[in-house]
Structure 1
Amino acid sequence: MTSTTERTGKVDGRRKAAAARRRAREAQIIAATRELFDAKGVRDVQIEEIASAVGINRAIVYRHFTGKEELFALTLVGYLDELRETVQAASADAESPRDALAAMVGAFVDYGVAHPAFVDCAQALMVRPGDELLDEISEGALFRLGRGITSCLTIFSDTLARGVEEGAFALDDDPVLLANTLYASGLGALQLARLGILVHESAPGVPTVGQISPEQVRRYLVTSALALVTPAPRSA
C-alpha cells in the first residue's frame, strides 16, 4: 500500500512540476512579446500575434496574465533589468558623483534611443491612473514591476545622496523625488528624440518646425540634470 507520506510527496511533486511548467510558459510568452515589441513597436502588437508566436491561442495567454497591461508590465521589467545593468556599467569608473550622474543620464538616453519599445512600454503604463493599474495588474506583477523600476531609480538616488554628502551637489528636494523626476522627464525627452522635430514660432503667431537629434536631447538631459544639483555660487 502507498503510505500517506508517499501520496503527499507525489502530489507535491506534481504541483511543483505544474508550477515550473507555468513559469516556463509565462517566460516564453514574455520573450515573444519582447521580440515583437522590438521588431514592430508596442502599438502595433496584438495579443493574437503574441499567442501565434508562441504557438498557442489567445485564451492561454489570458490564463497566465490578467490582461494586456500586465503582460506589458512584465515585459517592461526585462527592459528595466537591462537598463539597470547599463546604468551601473556606465557609472562604474566615474571619479566623482557629478561624473557618475552625467554618465548615468547619458546611458539612460542611449538605452532609450536604442530600445524605443522600452519608452513606449513605460509611457503606456505611466499614463494610466494608479487605481486602474491596481485593478488590472495582479499584486505579484505590480511587485515585480515596482522592483524593476526602483532597482534603476535607486542607482540615481544613491548617487545624488552621495553627492550631497560629499558637498558636490545641492538639492532642494529629496534625492528619491529627483530620481523619479529624472526618470519621468527622461521618458518624455526620449519621445522628442524619436520624433526629431521641434515646434517654435518663426514670427509671432506663425509656427514652424525644426529638427533635433538624439544627441542634442542627450546633451540637454545631461546638462539639465547637472544644473539641478549644482550648488549656487557663493556671493562675495
Structure 2
Amino acid sequence: MTENWHQNFKSKNREALIAAAKELCMKQSFLNVNIKDVCSAAGISRVTFYKHFQSMDELILAIQVEILESMTGYVKNAVSTEMSGKEMLASMLEAWVNYASTHLGYIKFVLLFDLHYEAYDSGQQLKEQYNLFINREKEQHFLLDALQTGYMDGTLRSEPDPLNTAHFIFVSMMSMLQKMSLASEEDQVTIQSDLRFAKRFVEMLVQHLSNERMA
C-alpha cells in the first residue's frame, strides 16, 4: 500500500509538471520556457523535477506526446460500432476539426515542435525516443480501422495500401489545422473562415474516398 501511494504521488508530481509546462507553453514559445518557471508554476522543487525529467527538452517531448495522444484519443472516440466505414471516417475527421478549433494552442505547439525538432539540440536519445513513438503511431494509425471497415463494407474505395492513405490524410489535415492555429485569438474573422474551409475540406476528402457505387 505504501508503495502504491508513493507511486501515485510520483505520478501526480509528473503530471503537475507537464500541466504547468503546457500552460506556460500556451502563453509563449516553448523555447522561452525554463525549468525554474515550470517548477514555480507547479509548486514543485527543482530536485523533484529531476526525479522525473533529465532536462527541459525531455519535458517538452512529454508535452508533445501527451497532446498527440489526447488529440488522437478524442478523434477515435467519435465513432460508434453501428457506423459504416465512411461514416466512421467522416465522424472522426469532423471531431478532429472540432478538437483543433477548441485547442488551437495545442495544434500550434505541435507545429512549432515539428519545425524546431530537427534543428533543436535535444540530444540523440530523445530524438530516438520520439521517432519510436511516431513510428509506433504510424504502424497503429488511428484512422486505419475506419478505412479498413470502409473497404470491407464497400462504402470507401478500396486502396492497395490503406496505411499510406491514413498517412496522407494525417499530413493533409494537420497542415490545414496548423495553418488555422497561426491566426491571432483576436482575429475571429480569420479563425471562422479557416474553420469553414476545414469543414469543407473534410467533406471533399470523404467524398473523394467514397465508393461512388455505394454513395
TM-score, normalised via structure 1 length? 0.66
For the pair 1:124 / 2:104, whether they are aligned, the reply is no
1:156 corresponds in structure 2 to 143
For the pair 1:217 / 2:189, whether they are aligned, the reply is no
Separation in 2 of the partners of 1:65 and 1:46? Answer: 15
1:135 corresponds in structure 2 to 124
Pick the structure with more strand per residue.
Answer: 1
Which of 172, 176, 191 aligns to 2:178? It is 191
For the pair 1:51 / 2:39, whether they are aligned, the reply is yes
Q: Is the 8 A contact 1:66 1:136 kept in 2?
A: no
Q: Return 155-164 or 41-50, whichever deviates more.
A: 41-50
Code of the residue aligned with 1:170 in structure 2: it is R
Q: The residue matched to 2:78 in structure 1 has which SS?
A: helix
Alignment gaps of 5+ in structure 1: 1-12, 198-209
Alignment gaps of 5+ in structure 2: none
Q: Is the 8 A contact 1:77 1:148 kept in 2?
A: no
The correspondence of residues 166-181 of structure 1 with structure 2, limited to 5 A, is 166-172=153-159, 174-181=161-168
Q: The residue matched to 1:95 in structure 2 has which SS?
A: coil
Q: The residue matched to 1:50 in structure 2 has which SS?
A: helix
Decide whether aligned partners of structure 1 residues 178 and 45 sit closer, same or farther in structure 2, where only a CA change above 3 A counts: farther
Decide whether aligned partners of structure 1 residues 54 and 141 sit closer, same or farther in structure 2, where only a CA change above 3 A counts: farther
Separation in 2 of the partners of 1:214 and 1:35? Answer: 25
TM-score, normalised via structure 2 length? 0.72
The correspondence of residues 62-73 of structure 1 with structure 2, limited to 5 A, is 64-73=52-61
Instruction: Report the number of matched residues.
Output: 205
Q: The residue matched to 2:156 in structure 1 has which SS?
A: coil
Q: Is the 8 A contact 1:97 1:163 kept in 2?
A: yes
Separation in 2 of the partners of 1:191 and 1:138? Answer: 22
Residue identity over aligned pairs, in percent, reads: 20
